[in-house]
Amino acid sequence: MTTAEQTIGSNWLATAGLRPTRQRVALAALLIGDGQDRHVTAESLFDAAKNQGEGVSLATVYNTLRAFCDAGLMQEVTVDGSKSYFDTNVHDHPHFFWEDEAKVTDAPSDQLVIAQLPDAPEGAEIASVDVIIRLRRKP
Partner DNA sequence: TTAAGTGCAAATTATTTGCAGTAAG
Partner DNA sequence: CTTACTGCAAATAATTTGCACTTAA
- Chain residues in the site for DNA (CB under 7 A): 18-24, 41-43, 55-60, 62-64, 66-67, 81-84
131 binds a copy of itself (CB under 8 A): yes
Member of 34, 43, 76, 92 binding a copy of itself (CB under 8 A): 76
Tell me if 32 sits within 8 A of 8, measured CB to CB: yes
Identify any residues that bridge with 106 across adjacent strands, giving them in sequence order. Answer: 95
Q: Which residues contact 25 (CB under 8 A, 6 or more apart)?
A: 6, 9, 10, 13
Footprint of a copy of itself on 96-125 (CB under 8 A): 96, 98-99, 107-108, 111-121, 123-125
For a copy of itself, the binding residues (CB under 8 A) are 76, 78-81, 83-84, 94, 96, 98-99, 107-108, 111-121, 123-138
